[in-house]
Every structure is written in structure tokens, then in C-alpha cells.
A and B are shown apart, each in its own frame.
Chain A
Amino acid sequence: MDQDFVMPSLGVEIEEGVVRQWLKAEGESVAAGELIVVIGTTKLDMEVEAPFAGVIKKILVDVDDVASVGTPLAVLTTG
């Protein structure tokens, strides 16, 4: 099943973030809780954990692109 991995809630008064670095590539698997992406904020950059396990099917937001909280960043194939 495909499931969206979305831009997580980053902080109060922080509505969007920039993708600084993908720590996993398309085709790679990621465990729940494993670091998957680094998001730049107006404060410290944030290393974000995958909320669920899966294989990265497609990255939707490239490095240096900005996305709002809740926007799908990648599609993962789960279970």
C-alpha cells in the first residue's frame, strides 16, 4: 500500500520548511523512527524521523524546495 510521508508539524508560528537533505533515496527502505530527511526551519534545522516503515517509492519535494506543514514530501510503499 502507498502512503504519503508529509511535512511534520515544525513548531509554533512555523508554517513551512525547506528540504535540506534526503537521508534516504528512492528505492531504499526506512524503519519507523529512522531519520529520513533534514528540514530547514527559521530556527535550528530538524532531523525528521519516518513515522512509519516502508520503501521510498517517490520523492515529491526536492532539496532546496519549500513545503508547507502537511504537504506530502514522499510516497512510501508500506507493509
Chain B
Amino acid sequence: MAGGTARGTVGVDGRDIAYLKAGDGARTIVLVHGFGADHQTWAFNQPQLARGATTYAIDLPGHGRSGKDVGNGDMAVLAGAVAGFLEAMELTGVHLVGHSLGGAASVLAAARTPERVSALTLIAPAGFGGAVNGAFVQAFLAMTDEASAMHALRYLVARPELVSPAMAAGVLAAVSASRGAMARIAEAVFDGDRQRVEVRDVAAGLAGPVQVVWGEKDAVLAIPEGVHAEIVPGAGHMPQMEAARVVSGMIERV
């Protein structure tokens, strides 16, 4: 792809925030993964997006190659990491794309640095009301082997038969390396089936366009009532992976 890919790390609030950069186009897209994931959430999207933009897929604190210190693990830490990344990299006119908990973090980051964010795409975002599937969070944090990893991942996608053994092994390794940090975040943002995070009003107050995208068969965060979302047919909680081309197109359209 144009400009190739490059890994990097930048210091934010005393934490290392890792990112994968792809492309060198005039537009700037920053991709923020959800709870328990990392920049690879966007592996199927980044090549397409990088054809017309400079894209950065970041790792949130406690995830991927970023630092494991998450402080008290609450939204201020996660949103601070996203906003701090934009500041540290001196990015402006950013289209911020957040998935799930990363969607809530993106809304709060946009509110904190409105001069740097021009548009938002939120994919099955947390913080818009409705329940979270607490059984998924519990199963995710409790995975100890490939079978239990596979069990947890089955909540995420509408067609679990497409979860590859390599994906289960990769997620198991990631959770094993970050279980404490992830548990702290889960404790701070979820309470069983209840979300402690609420960003809908903040999103409504943002100046730029906010596009919301949701998988038709999401079993982790159901589409809350009253939210206007672009529906991705047949997809679960990971539409950016389950219907990569469709969702990449939705992102490019903004």
C-alpha cells in the first residue's frame, strides 16, 4: 500500500502508546480498538483505508504493545490516551474511528480535543445506553486455554465458525499478558450487564459529523433504542472484521 506500514511508539501521560501506521494520504484516520483487543482489530480495514489516507491504528493502555499501566482503568485514562496520542503526534483534521469501548473513548477524546477531530465513526460503541453482555466480559477475562478462548470469542461474531484457531491463540496470548490491566478496565467501565460509561450526550454535542455503525446480530452490545445507526447485515459485534469491505467503505464515505 502507498507509504507502506510502520510501527511506532509515542509517550502519552507517562505511558507508551504503540501504533501501526499505514498509508501516506492527505486525510488522517485514527483507529481505536475495543476492550481486550488491539490494533489488529483493523487488520482487514487498514489496507483499504490507507489507499486514500494516512492511518494510525493504536493500542490502548493495557492492550497490545502499549504500556500495561492503566491507572484506575476508567474512561478518563482511555480517552486521555487517545486525545494525548493526537496531541503528541500533532494530528489535526482527524477522522477518529472507534470500536466498542474504543468508540466511547473516541467520543470523549473528541470532546477533549475538538480542534483536532473533524469527524467520528463509532462502531458498536459503548456508552450509548443499553446492556453489555456481562457473560462475555467474564468469559473473556477467564480464558485459560484455546478452548475457553474460542468460547469467549464466539460471543463476538455472528458466524463463530470463522474464528480461526490462530485468532483464538493470539487473543489467549494477549489476555494472558494483560489480564490484570484488562480486568481493571472491565471493573471500571462495566458492572455485570450494566455499562458504567455514558457518552451519548457528549457525542450529541460534538460539532463534526458522527456516524454510528452497528452489526445486525451484535450479541455483546445490543443496539440501544433511539440510536440511529447504519446496520451491517449479518454481522455481530465485529462488523469491521466480519464485513470488512462494507465497513471500510462506510468509513471512507465520511
Do they bind each other? yes
- Name the interface residues of B160-185: CB closer than 8 Å to any CB of A: 161-164, 166-167, 170
Question: Is B79 interfacial (CB 8 A cutoff)?
Answer: no
Bound together, the chains give a CA A54 to CA B50 distance in angstroms of 31
Is B43 touching A13 in the complex (CB atoms < 8 A)?
Answer: yes
With CB as the reference atom, state the residue of chain B lying closest to A45. B162
Segment touching B, from A24-32, A36-44, A71-79: A36-44
Which among A12, A40, A42, A46 is the interface contact of B22 at CB below 8 angstroms?
Answer: A12
Is B241 touching A13 in the complex (CB atoms < 8 A)?
Answer: no
Question: Is B131 interfacial (CB 8 A cutoff)?
Answer: no
Residues of A within 8 A of B (CB-CB), count = 14
Question: Is A70 interfacial (CB 8 A cutoff)?
Answer: no
Number of A-B contacts (CB under 8 A): 55
Which among B40, B163, B164 is the interface contact of A13 at CB below 8 angstroms?
Answer: B40
Residues of B within 8 A of A (CB-CB), count = 23
Q: Which residues of B contact A9 (CB under 8 A)?
A: 47
Question: Is B59 interfacial (CB 8 A cutoff)?
Answer: no
With CB as the reference atom, state the residue of chain B lying closest to A42. B166
Bound together, the chains give a CA A9 to CA B43 distance in angstroms of 11
Q: Which residues of B contact A42 (CB under 8 A)?
A: 40, 164, 166-167, 170
Q: Which residues of A contact B162 (CB under 8 A)?
A: 44-47
Is A40 touching B43 in the complex (CB atoms < 8 A)?
Answer: no
Identify the A interface with B (CB < 8 A).
9-14, 40-47
20 contacting pairs across A/B (C-beta < 8 A): A9-B47, A11-B44, A11-B47, A12-B42, A12-B47, A40-B164, A40-B166, A41-B167, A42-B166, A42-B167, A43-B43, A43-B170, A44-B157, A44-B163, A44-B164, A44-B241, A45-B162, A45-B163, A45-B164, A46-B162
